[in-house]
Chains A and B, each alone.
Chain A
């Protein structure tokens, strides 16, 4: 077991990407994710990698598309306004079946918004990370250690299903330091990518990476095949942490930084004799519908707690499907809810269900 060190979330993300064999980073600075790029700019040249600060986010994401198409592990990171600029390229990657990893260390929006932590890009990440019929895998860490663990796995899952994967973090997770154990580097040299456009000296028919299909029938069949893959992902890749949900009557659903706050509130509610629990989605797409449905057996009210005006609550409602009420509590604009605020919501709903 390696030594636990104190690391910023952003730096931990970057180090984990290096350990995962990523040697290609394309980015553009923006608060509060800049440490990802800064770390990569220091470390990548030492290991023969490519660090490129592009002239814009649009440029950076297209470099990721090109690099990913060649079969190499490519990473870009940004924060909310920058991700909006990247959505065109993300759509092209989804339409070309190119795997890569995109980090969004969310800040308050819309527009330039603010620079404090936020979760108001949930809809963008899970509904429309670009134009067209598409999904990307969305992973939501809630500790610095999980930043590392999810990043280590993000390239694998992106390559397994040949699609972009996003780490959806926020300014709090990016800026905070926590003890973290960094795993050993993995060897990615043996991973076969027969689809990659990487040069073959005329030894095989050439590969084409493309998202343009002029014939409607052809495009429909390609999109449908992709959606069959999405169904497999929904069946196989849902992940959530369930905390005290075996008998919970008030079940919070919260991810990322908010889940940490919510967990404090759940503990405090239990001390007051309220049967509270927490479902913490680790995958946001696919949403852990099964975990929510299982909890619905004992739950009288769900409360989605978010740093937004209420976005994930849609997915909670879809999963619960009207079986019990689904409430929402959130702060937005960069404000982090306090455990006491969440506890007050739990108490309010507990009073209502007695």
Chain B
């Protein structure tokens, strides 16, 4: 299975981090992976996105133009990319931040009220990771343990105390 995933939202929502955890999990799993951030004017205007590919073949273009999985944390990004999602694709959207859902046949969309759920569970700021947990529960893109190990790799040493909360957020997301 090739996973061509687009993560999108506002800068500061942890979009690039979400993608990095997924990419690292794939790497730990022994898959070929790539991670490509947007660094253009759109990022400077407030939105951020990154492309993540997981595959058992070497990855050609790391730029995901037509994702088969789309994780989205704001309305503008949802509107920009929703019609690019491949048929059969999966969308995980932040239901309180993406107000207008486009009904599209052939794709499966999961709304997650991640920001609120994070706050209610003492995981403020980890809505992004809850959403990654949800994506994992739908796609199982790697071994579950690889995902937890990836968190340990991606959380910087100075913030090591946040590893536990990130893993809790992943597990919480998997139950939604």
Contact = CB atoms under 8 A, between A and B. Distances in A.
- Specify whether A and B are partners: yes
Interface of A: 4, 6, 31-32, 114-116, 171-172, 175-179, 260-261, 263-264, 267, 334, 336, 338-339
A115 B39 contact: yes
30 contacts: A6-B23, A6-B24, A6-B153, A31-B39, A115-B39, A115-B41, A171-B39, A172-B36, A172-B62, A172-B63, A175-B36, A175-B39, A176-B34, A177-B20, A177-B23, A177-B35, A178-B34, A178-B35, A178-B62, A179-B27, A179-B33, A260-B60, A260-B61, A261-B60, A263-B58, A263-B60, A267-B60, A338-B61, A338-B63, A339-B61
A176 B61 contact: no
B59 interface: yes
A144 to B, nearest CB: 8
B33 A178 contact: yes
A339 B61 CA distance: 8
A92 to B, nearest CB: 33
Contacts of B65: 338
Contacts of B59: 178, 260
Q: In the complex, which range does the number of interface residues on chain B fall in?
A: 20 to 34
Chain A facing B: main interface SS = mixed
B88 interface: no
Given A176-B35, A334-B40, 19 more contacts: A6-B20, A6-B33, A115-B41, A116-B40, A172-B36, A172-B62, A176-B62, A177-B34, A178-B33, A179-B32, A260-B59, A261-B61, A264-B61, A336-B61, A338-B61, A338-B63, A338-B65, A339-B60, A339-B61
B60 A6 contact: no
A295 B39 CA distance: 38
Contacts of A338: 61, 63, 65
B39 A32 contact: yes
Contact of B40 (A4, A115, A260): A115
Interface string B22-60: 011001000011111101110000000000000000111
A339 B41 CA distance: 24
A66 B47 CA distance: 43
